[in-house]
Amino acid sequence: MSERTGKQDEPGLGRRGFVAGAAVVAGAAVVAGAALTGTASATPVGGPVARGASSAGDTAIAFTHVTVIDGSRAAPAHDMTVVVEAGQITGLAPSTRTRLRPGVRTVDLSGKYLIPGLIEAHTHSDGPDAVVPPLYPLAGVTTVREMQGAPVHHRWRRQIRSGTLLGPRWLIGSPIIDGAPSLWAQDVPNHISVRDAADARRVVRRVKKEGADFVKVYSRLSREAYWAIAQEARRQNIPHLGHCPDLVRITEAADAGQRSIEHLHALLLSTSAHEAEVRRGLAAVRIDPDDPSSLSRYHSWFQQVHPLEWRAVRGYDPRKADSVFRRLAAGGTAVVPTLSVHHTLELPDEVPDRAEDWKYLPAWQVESWPDQLQALIGGRTPEQARQIREIYAHRERLVRELHEAGVRLPTGTDTGTGYTVPGFALHDELALLVEAGLTPMQVLRSATQEAARLLGLDAVGTVAKGKAADLLVLDADPLRDIRNTRKIHGVVAGGRWIDNTEREALLAAVQKAAAEAEPPQEEAAAVTGCGCGGHP
């Protein structure tokens, strides 16, 4: 087993290139580095924010005359009152039947819509303390699953729980566990390469001891190492999830207890009549172990894999797909589509030149995205570009069919890759899922109740008495237009009510912190993240 690249101490992820978080498609994290990683003494945005405390300490607050969309399949409930106290929902009833005790603060939300706080199930968070953690709740994302855990994430979680940092609930995975040679080179910290079953078992025990909430498996694992991880994870009572390794069938991963499959690559292969042929081609893909650049390794990966994806798509078998999808549904294995990163790498002509949300990240970081993207996708012929656009359209079809078959589709973005802003990127993902054919109600459930089930968090994901008070208040109906999730009136994060005025002030503080962030000392487009982009 090779040692984890990089250092154990902070900064946890180091420099990021466009490939971070994307797993080839997903590939592409932002160049971040030590200059972006905050220190424990950094000034928290907005001051102490204890989860479970309202803005008036433990004083109850009642949100009245609001339409509640509770995250389940239930129809919207109009003119409701939601009472929050000590970080919990303690009351939920029609306003006409609610009698509040003296001293309860009231907030009239007539004409507003209240939904559960959104859940982001696939991130690679990297940046200053004063920027990244607060952006999630300020964008309405109150729970995050971190797919490449580092010491900085554990520190953020401790600070959030202690009330010294504004941020989301955080589930934190292990470093990426990949085969050898890995898609990641030495220029990217926080991944582990394993060569055999003994290595794999030791790594599972190690990451559990280090505090990981789950084991993150990756694309280049051998079959032997993958089965060892699955068996040891079960023995250690820690979930394993992530990519479906190239040499493992998706149904085998589901049978092995893999909780979620990240991205849509493995599904192209498993639903194709050309699977045997494509699998032979995939087994022949080679990564140069002497290539010192992760960005270069990923570019090579794209070049080898896109023809295989195209061959897989041309052989799509609906009956085979239905059988695979129903097997996933029956076993409870979720699929996190991450359409956002697929869209960026496969439809680059549609990538915007600018967006309002980008002001919350350092300018030097945002300005690096086009060059990083070009480094990943450069060299495509017009015919290859056309084929890759069709591959993306096929991914949208798979999303529809997965949903129709009853497979859970929790929402995730691969935030940490280029063109994604923490928290705000999830709203773009919701819109892409609607474009793929899901209804706004179905998408909201994916971003709340279904994501909570995947994460094993019973306390969040729905609006109900006894649930945690993680809530999002909107100015417009998200069921009429999913883009209305961006029209945020206020957020309840761990019981604390952040109204529009305070939210704007906190966002201004984030913007200022981003503008003052120094660029990394080393110039390079190193990459980190989940690197899942180009394989079927």
Neighbouring residues of 527: CB distance < 8 A, sequence distance ≥ 6: 16, 17, 18, 19, 20, 27, 28, 29, 184, 187, 188, 294, 295, 298
Cβ atoms of 416 and 338 closer than 8 Å: no
Neighbouring residues of 373: CB distance < 8 A, sequence distance ≥ 6: 18, 28, 344, 345, 348, 351, 418, 419
Residue 16, domain member (yes or no): no
Residue 447, domain member (yes or no): yes
Helices (H), 132-248: 132-138, 151-162, 197-209, 223-236
Q: Residue 458 and residue 454: Cα distance in Å, rounded?
A: 10
* Burial of 381 (C-beta count, 10 Å sphere; 0-12/13-18/19+): exposed
447-470 burial: b if 16+ Cβ within 10 Å, else e? bbbbbbbbbebebbbbbeeebbbb
Instruction: Convert the pLDDT of each residue in 63-120 to its tens digit.
Output: 999 999 999 999 999 999 999 999 999 999 999 999 999 999 999 999 999 999 999 9
Amino acid at 506: L
Residue 473, domain member (yes or no): yes
The number of distinct structural domains making up the chain is 1
Residue 7, domain member (yes or no): no
Backbone angles phi, psi at 359, to 5 degrees: -65, -15
Residue 286, domain member (yes or no): yes
Element (H, E) at 427: helix 424-435
pLDDT given for residue 521 in this prediction: 67
CATH label of the domain that carries residue 455: 3.20.20.140
DSSP state at residue 519? P
Structural domain including 134 reads 61-398+410-516
Residue 3, domain member (yes or no): no
pLDDT given for residue 389 in this prediction: 96
pTM exceeds 0.85 for this model: yes
How large is the angle between the packed helices 339-346 and 424-435, nearest 10 degrees? 80
Structure token pair of residue 441: 């109600």
pLDDT given for residue 48 in this prediction: 34
Average predicted confidence (pLDDT) for the chain: 87
Neighbouring residues of 314: CB distance < 8 A, sequence distance ≥ 6: 274
* Burial of 102 (C-beta count, 10 Å sphere; 0-12/13-18/19+): exposed
Closest by CA position to 173, among listed 198, 191, 193 = 191
Amino acid at 460: V
Structure token pair of residue 385: 């570009």
pLDDT given for residue 58 in this prediction: 61
How large is the angle between the packed helices 197-209 and 223-236, nearest 10 degrees? 40
Residue 534, domain member (yes or no): no
pLDDT given for residue 374 in this prediction: 86
Q: Residue 497 and residue 506: Cα distance in Å, rounded?
A: 13
* Burial of 23 (C-beta count, 10 Å sphere; 0-12/13-18/19+): buried
Q: What is the number of other CB atoms lying within 10 angstroms of the CB of residue 160?
A: 25
Q: Residue 465 and residue 235: Cα distance in Å, rounded?
A: 35
* Burial of 47 (C-beta count, 10 Å sphere; 0-12/13-18/19+): exposed
First vs last C-alpha separation in the chain: 27
Distance of CA 4 to the CA centre of its chain: 23
Closest by CA position to 10, among listed 163, 146, 100, 129 = 129
Q: Report helix, strand and coil shares of the chain as percent, to nearest 5.
A: 40, 20, 45
Residue 2, domain member (yes or no): no
pLDDT less than 70: residues of the chain: 1-58, 521-536
Q: Residue 308 and residue 136: Cα distance in Å, rounded?
A: 37
Cβ atoms of 165 and 46 closer than 8 Å: no
Neighbouring residues of 385: CB distance < 8 A, sequence distance ≥ 6: none
